[in-house]
């Protein structure tokens, strides 16, 4: 190799090396920018909304929020606990965001909310051998049948009134998760469970309970749910940006696209 070729090759090597270094620095800058904003999302196992698959936290709610967070250049980390524990952590500012939350006056004292992004209703699931064919929760409870609920879930005003009714209040049995309540039916600790119909049918299919548990004719009307943000830990501008990103996803139909993928 002559001297001129050696110089050319050296120059080419330096250009490639410098280019690689520049790209590396750019990628690092982007990564650092994203790490500057890390939001902690609390989750509980509620497939297909929130669950773990192959070591990754995913689901309808998770994917929607990750896309919104990406728009405002934020990473998302996850903490798994029961819903009751997560509400407490959000109030303390130890968790930044929860999904699938109903707006209530009590929660508004410590949390801010996004625009509603999906509807959530409840169906009463019962033993396949049950002969109850009514369409009211009151009728089911009137037979002294026990109903499983998840601690600190809001099931709507109709159910709330029954939970506080002197005749029926003792028939509502708390559990840490909806999935646990399905197995409590099998153990005869309860006679039915209120669950989101999508979640309920998913549990029945995944746990192969189709010959033991069925959906009843009792359906509680749907209510809109939103993302709930801690007033203690989420900064005002950050909140506004996230609310705008979620609203854009709803308006542009991207939330429906995520739901359709599951």
- Least confident stretch, 4-18, 173-187, 221-235: 4-18
**pLDDT given for residue 76 in this prediction:** 97
Measured CA to CA, the distance from residue 126 to residue 190 in angstroms comes to 9
Nearest 5°: phi and psi at 100?
65, 40
How do 192-195 and 147-150 pair as beta strands? Answer: parallel
Which pLDDT value is given to residue 177?
Answer: 83
Residue carrying the six token digits 């909140």? 239
In the chain, where the domains are located: 38-118+224-260, 121-222
**Residue 66 pLDDT:** 98
Q: What is the CATH number of domain 121-222?
A: 3.40.190.10
Superfamily of domain 38-118+224-260 in the CATH hierarchy: Periplasmic binding protein-like II (3.40.190.10)
pLDDT tens sequence across 121-137: 999 999 999 999 999 99
As given in the structure block, the two tokens for residue 132 are: 């109850």
Buried b (16+ CB within 10 A) or exposed e, 213-251: beebebebeebebbbbbbeebbeeebbebbbebbeebbe
Per-residue confidence band for 13, with pLDDT thresholds at 50, 70 and 90: very low
User: pLDDT grade, residue 25 (50/70/90)?
Assistant: low
- Which of 36, 198, 223 is closest to 125 using CA atoms? 198
| Within this chain, domains 38-118+224-260 and 121-222 share the same CATH topology | yes
pLDDT for 6 equals: 41
Q: Is the pLDDT of residue 229 over 50?
A: yes
The whole-angstrom separation of Cα 118 and Cα 77 is 22
């Amino acid at each position: 190799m002559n001297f001129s070729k050696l110089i050319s090759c050296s120059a080419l090597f330096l250009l490639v090396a410098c280019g690689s270094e520049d790209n590396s620095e750019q990628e690092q800058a982007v990564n650092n920018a994203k790490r500057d904003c890390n939001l902690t999302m609390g989750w509980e196992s509620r497939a297909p909304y929130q669950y773990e698959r192959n070591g990754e936290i995913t689901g309808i709610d998770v994917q929607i929020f990750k896309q919104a967070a990406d728009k405002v250049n934020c990473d998302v980390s996850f903490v798994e606990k029961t819903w009751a524990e997560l509400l407490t952590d959000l109030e303390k500012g130890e968790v930044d965001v929860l999904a699938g939350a109903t707006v209530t006056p009590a929660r508004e004292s410590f949390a801010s909310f996004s625009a509603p992004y999906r509807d959530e209703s409840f169906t009463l699931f019962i033993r396949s051998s049950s002969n109850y064919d009514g369409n009211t929760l009151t009728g089911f409870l009137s037979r002294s049948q026990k109903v499983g609920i998840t601690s600190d879930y809001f099931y709507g005003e109709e159910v709330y009134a029954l939970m506080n009714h002197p005749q029926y209040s003792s028939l509502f049995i708390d559990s840490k998760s909806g999935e646990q309540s399905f197995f409590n039916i099998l153990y005869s600790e309860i006679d039915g469970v209120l669950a989101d119909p999508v979640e309920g049918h998913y549990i029945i299919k995944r746990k192969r309970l189709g010959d033991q548990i069925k959906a009843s004719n009792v359906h509680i009307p749907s209510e809109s749910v939103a993302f709930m943000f801690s007033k203690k830990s989420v900064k005002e501008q950050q909140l506004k940006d996230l609310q705008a990103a979620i609203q854009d996803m709803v308006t542009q139909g991207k939330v429906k696209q995520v739901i359709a993928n599951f």
